């Protein structure tokens, strides 16, 4: 049976790089985004480049619980993914004591609760199958406090903690759980910044790291992987 991967927020940046990396290896793809045109463009690109795979897309805002669960149910009707990558995330800069009201709630809904509800939606099936690999795309902002990180950093610290908990819970069921913690990665989020590309991690490097972690032997797991620019954090 053909293997499959679910990547939340798979149309751009790290998410897209992961989708393309696994599609290259013959994985069918489930992904979602808030932008229908981006999803259509991704689906067309993947199916042209890899005619043997299936690509399922759905418009969904994963800051909203009901849309998370709707997406999960649509995927489950087609199959249970072998790999789940929690990539959906948003960054709003600011300090905790000055940022706009609602920043914390929005960032926690998007960056943390999306992964929480999506994992829970597939937990029963993964446990019954006794296989699977769950990745959370965190950030070095989740292990190091930054002055302008604000609620984004809070959400990523929480993401790392939650992923550690899932690791312990799923360990007896042969389900692997990995935290990927990239530093500054060259995506649209850094558009317009006057820095050379060499100061960033490439999104493809993150995707290759996910692929490498997935391909370890059944008896080994990467629990946490930090990927920084060679010259250090920005």
Q: Mind listing the pLDDT tens digit for each residue in 74-129?
A: 999 999 999 999 999 998 888 999 999 999 999 999 999 999 999 999 999 999 99
Does 107 map to a domain?
A: yes
Does 119 map to a domain?
A: yes
Does 23 map to a domain?
A: yes
**139 vs 91: CA distance, rounded Å:** 11
What share of the chain in percent tops pLDDT 70? Answer: 100
Query: Is the pLDDT score of 1 beyond 70?
Result: no
Does 232 map to a domain?
A: no
**68 vs 127: CA distance, rounded Å:** 20
Domain count across the chain: 1
What share of the chain in percent tops pLDDT 90? Answer: 86
Residue carrying the six token digits 């009707």:
77
The answer to whether 177 touches 167, Cβ cutoff 8 Å, is yes
Do the strands 176-182 and 4-8 form a parallel or antiparallel pair, or are they unpaired? unpaired
Q: Tell me what the mean pLDDT of segment 156-170 comes to.
A: 98
Does 234 map to a domain?
A: no
Does 174 map to a domain?
A: yes
Per-residue confidence (pLDDT) for residue 2, from 0 to 100: 87
Does 233 map to a domain?
A: no
Task: Select from 70, 149, 56 the least CA-distant residue to 111.
Answer: 149
Question: In the β-sheet with 4-8, what is the strand arrangement from edge to edge?
Answer: 55-59, 28-33, 4-8, 83-86, 133-137, 176-182, 224-227
Q: Mean pLDDT lowest for which of 89-103, 123-137, 156-170? A: 89-103
**The domain that contains 156 carries what CATH number?**
3.40.50.720
Q: Mean pLDDT lowest for which of 37-51, 98-112, 141-155? A: 141-155
Predicted TM-score (pTM) of the model is: 0.96
Q: Give strand pairing partners of 55.
A: 29
Does 194 map to a domain?
A: yes
Torsion, Cα 227 42 117 25, to 10 degrees, reads -60
> Tell me, what DSSP letter sits at residue 100?
P
Where in the sequence is the domain holding 68, given as residue range(s)? 4-227
């Amino acid at each position: 049976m053909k293997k499959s991967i679910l990547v939340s927020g798979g149309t751009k940046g790290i998410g897209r790089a992961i989708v393309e990396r696994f599609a290259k290896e013959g994985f069918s793809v489930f992904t979602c985004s808030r932008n229908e045109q981006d999803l259509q463009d991704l689906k067309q690109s993947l199916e042209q480049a890899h005619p043997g795979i299936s690509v399922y897309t759905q418009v969904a805002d994963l800051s909203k619980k009901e849309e998370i669960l709707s997406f999960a149910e649509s995927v489950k009707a087609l199959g249970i993914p072998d790999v789940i990558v929690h990539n959906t995330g948003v960054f709003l800069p600011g300090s905790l004591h000055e940022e706009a009201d609602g920043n914390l709630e929005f960032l926690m809904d998007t960056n943390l609760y999306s992964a929480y509800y999506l994992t829970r939606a597939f937990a029963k099936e993964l446990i019954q199958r006794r296989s699977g690999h769950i990745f959370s795309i965190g950030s070095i902002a989740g292990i190091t406090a930054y002055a302008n990180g604000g609620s984004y950093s809070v959400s990523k610290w929480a993401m790392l903690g939650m992923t550690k908990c899932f690791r312990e819970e799923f360990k007896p069921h042969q389900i692997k759980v990995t935290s990927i913690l990239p530093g500054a990665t060259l995506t649209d989020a850094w558009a317009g910044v006057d820095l050379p590309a060499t100061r960033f991690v490439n999104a493809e490097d993150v995707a290759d790291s996910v692929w490498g972690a997935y391909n370890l032997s059944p008896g080994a797991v990467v629990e946490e992987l930090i990927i920084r620019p060679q010259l250090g954090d920005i």
